[in-house]
Copies of this chain bind each other. A is one copy, B any other.
Amino acid sequence: MSTPKLEAFPLGGCGEFGMNMMVLRYGEDLIVIDAGMMFPEAELLGVDVVIPDISYLVEHRDQVRALILTHGHEDHIGAVPYFLAELNVPVYGTPFTLALVEEKLDEHALLDSVKLHTVKPKDRVQVGPFEIEFIHVTHSIVNAAMLAITTPLGVVLHTGDFKIDPTPTDNELFDLHAVAEYGKRGVLALFSDSTNAERPGYTPSERAVREKIEDVFSRAEDRVYAACFSSSIHRIQLLVDLAIEHNRQIAFVGRSMIRNTEIAHRLEYLQIPDGRLLRPQDIRSNPRNRTAVVIAGSQGEPLSSLTRAAIDDHRHAVIQPGDTVLLSSRIIPGNEKAIYRMINHLFRRGANVVYEGGSGSPVHVSGHASQEELMLMLNLARPKYFIPIHGEYRQLCLHAALGKRLREVEEVFLLDSGDVLEFDAAGARKNGRVNVGRVCIDSGAVDEVVEDMIIRDRKHISQDGIVLPIIAINRHTGKVESQPEIVARGFVSADGDDGFMAQAREMILETLERSSSEERADWGLIKEKIRNDLKRFIKKQTSRQPLIFPVILEI
C-alpha cells in the first residue's frame, strides 16, 4: 500500500475575485479553509449573492472534518451559513470572525445546531492528521489570521488576506516571527494572497490615512459624516479617536455599522469612552459642530444609509449645507457609477465632500500586500512550492512571476478553481480537477438558488425584450380557435395594430396553415416552427433577437 498523498484544491477564489475556499485532503481526511461569497457581476441580473458549488464536498461528506476561517470579510465567510446547512462540521476561527459568523447563523436560524470553536492567535488545533496554528496578521479587519498547517508531508502555509503593516493602529504587529520560524524549519507549500499583486512597492500603513482625516476634522465647521466599510474596525477606531480629539459626539448609522461596532465594542476591539456615544435619533438635535456620524454605505448601495441621506431621505442622518462628508474607503470596481451619483447628490445638498481621487491625498489605504510585501512573505516562508491564490488570472500570474525570482522556490503552480495539486514523496504536480461552479442566491425567493436558465432568460429579455405568440387550440378538434395573439414586452411597442404586429400574426397563421394535421397535433413541433419563423421574421425586420416563447392554450 502506498502512503497517502496530500491534495490541495481551491473550490473558489483562484482565477476569480471573491468566493474564497480552499480544500486540503490527506488520506480520508479533509479540511476546508474559508467559505466566502462573491458579489454578483452586473450580468447576473437580480442575483444577490454568489457562492461556490460545494457538491464535491457534499459527495465526500464523511471525509469533511472542519471549516477553518482566516478572517471575517464576506469573501471569506459569506457562504458559511449555506455551507453549514449542507455540512454541519465544526468551525474554527478567531473571536471577531466567529462573532460575525454568529450573526449570520442567527439570521439563518442555524445558530443552535452549529459548533463554533474560538481560537486565539498562536493557538494550535488538531483536526485529523492536520495540526493548525493560527498566526496573527495585519489586515483591514481586526483579528485576521494566517494558517500554518502541519501535515504528514510537511508544513503548508495559507496566508488568508494580509498586508504587512509595520505600524497597525491597534499596535498588534504581524507575527512575522512565527512565519520566520516555519520558514527556517522548512515549508512545503505557501498559498499566498494575490489581491494586490499588480501594485509595485509597499502598501501604506493604516496609520497613513490619519493625517488626511485629521485635516478633515480640523477644517470641518458643521457636522462630519464619515463612511467606511462597516467591518473596518481599525478605521472606525481612528474616526472615533479623531472625533473625540475634536470634541464631537459619535453616532453610528446603518444596520451593519451598528451591528459590527457593537460586536467590536463588546469584544474590546473598539474603544469608545463613556458618554461619547450619540443615538441616531439625537443627531438632529445635537449641536452640528459637536457631531460626528460614522455611516454605512460607502459604495453607494441603493438602500444604504448614506445613499438615502444623499437624497435627503434619511430620518436621522440629515445633511445640510456646510456639513462635511468623508468617503474613507476604496471604490470597488463596478460601483463607480453608483458612488459618483451619490457624490453628486451630496454636492447638491451643499456638503463638502472629501473622496478618493477628488482631493489627491489618501483617504483610504488598502488592506492587501503589494509586491514588496509579497516578496517579503516569500522570503520569510521560503517554500518549496508556491501557489498564488485570491485573485483573477492576471493577479495570480504577476504573483507567480514574483515567486519565480527566488532560487528557494522549486516550482510555482498557477491553479484555477477546481485544479487539484497533489504532493507526495516524489514532489508535487497538478493532477485532475474536481467539480466547481458558482451558485447564485436570490435572497428572499421561494427557492433561493437561481438556476442558470433563469439568469440567461433575464439577460436575454433585458437586451432585446420578449415576444410571446399565443394561440388557442381546441384540444378535441385540433382547430385553431382564435386569431393568434402576440404579446411583447421590452420590445417594440405592441400597442395598436401597427403593420409589424399584423404581419407577424399573419405569418403565424401561415405557419399553422402550412403544417400538416399530424404536425399540428404535436404541439412541441408547432411551437418550434412558430418560434423559428417568427425569429427569422423579427430579425429581418428589426435586427433584434427577442426571446420568443410560443404559448398554446388548450380549450
CB distance from A351 to the nearest CB of B (A): 10
Are B447 and A394 closer than 8 Å at their CB atoms?
Answer: no
- What is the CA–CA distance of A164 and B250 in the complex, to the nearest angstrom? 45
**C-beta contact mask, A430-443 vs B, less than 8 Å → 1, else 0?**
00000000000010
With an 8 Å Cβ cutoff, the count of chain A residues facing the other chain is 72
A288 interface contact, C-beta 8 A: no
Set of chain B residues within 8 Å of A359, measured between Cβ atoms: 200
Contacts A333-B340, A470-B470, A551-B470 given; does A489 touch B457 at CB 8 Å: yes
Contact indicator B200/A360 (Cβ below 8 Å) = yes
Residue A507 at the chain B interface, CB threshold 8 Å:
no
1/0 contact trace for A519-551 toward B, CB 8 Å? 000000000000000000000011110010101
A468 to B466, CA, bound (A): 12
Are the C-beta atoms of A42 and B45 separated by less than 8 Å?
Answer: no
Whether A445 contacts B544 by the Cβ 8 Å rule is: yes
Report the bound CA distance from A360 to B372 in whole Å.
14
Name the B residues within 8 Å of A481 (CB-CB).
472, 481, 555
Stretch at the interface among A26-34, A77-85, A86-94, A341-349: A341-349
CB distance from A409 to the nearest CB of B (A): 20
Partner of A394, one of B333, B353, B454: B353
Are the CB atoms of A46 and B462 closer together than 8 Å?
yes
Contacts of A394 in B (CB 8 A): 340, 343-344, 346-347, 353, 358
Is the Cβ of B334 less than 8 Å from the Cβ of A337?
Answer: yes
> Quick check: which of A110-118, A240-248, A313-321, A490-498 contacts chain B, the rest being far away?
A490-498
Find chain B residues with CB under 8 A from A465 CB. Answer: 46, 454, 457-458
Bound CA span A551–B471, Å: 12
B337 engages A336 (CB within 8 Å): no
A275 lies within 8 A of chain B by Cβ: no
Answer whether residue A282 sits at the interface, using C-beta atoms and an 8 A cutoff: no
State which of B15, B482, B549 has its C-beta within 8 Å of the C-beta of A553: B482
- Is B472 in contact with A553, judged by CB distance below 8 angstroms? yes
Nearest Cβ on chain B to A122's Cβ, whole angstroms: 37
Give the chain B neighbours of A413 by CB distance below 8 A.
none
Q: Is A464 an interface residue (CB 8 A)?
A: yes
CA separation between A350 and B448, bound complex, in Å? Answer: 39
- What residues on B are CB-neighbors of A493 within 8 Å? 451, 453-454
Interface string of A32-56 (1 = CB under 8 A from B): 0000000001100110000000000
Question: A208 interface residue, CB < 8 Å from B?
Answer: no
Q: Does A263 contact B (CB under 8 A)?
A: no
CA distance A457 to B547 in the complex (A): 14
A491: B residues at CB distance < 8 A: 454
A373 to B: closest C-beta gap in Å: 15
Asked if B470 and A42 sit within 8 Å, CB to CB, the answer is no
Cβ 8 A contact of A492, one of B42, B201, B357, B446: B446
Contact B445 A489 (CB under 8 A): no
Which residues on the B side are within 8 Å of A483 (C-beta)? Answer: 554
Choice from B199, B397, B489, B549 contacting A549 with Cβ under 8 Å: B489
Chain B hits for A485, CB < 8 A? 551, 553
Question: Is A500 an interface residue when CB atoms closer than 8 A count as contact?
Answer: yes
- Contact partner of A543 among B334, B336, B444, CB < 8 A? B444
Min CB gap A357→B, angstroms: 6
A459 at interface by CB-CB < 8 Å: yes
Instruction: Using CB atoms, name the residue of chain B closest to A197.
Output: B358
B344 and A463 form a contact (CB under 8 A): no
17 interchain pairs (CB within 8 A)? A41-B337, A42-B42, A42-B337, A46-B465, A334-B336, A334-B337, A336-B336, A343-B394, A444-B543, A445-B544, A454-B491, A457-B465, A458-B489, A472-B553, A482-B553, A485-B553, A487-B549
A interface with B by C-beta (< 8 Å): 15, 41-42, 45-46, 198-201, 333-334, 336-337, 340, 343-348, 353, 357-360, 392-394, 397-398, 442, 444-447, 451, 453-455, 457-459, 461-466, 468, 470, 472, 481-483, 485, 487, 489-493, 500, 541-544, 547, 549, 551, 553-555
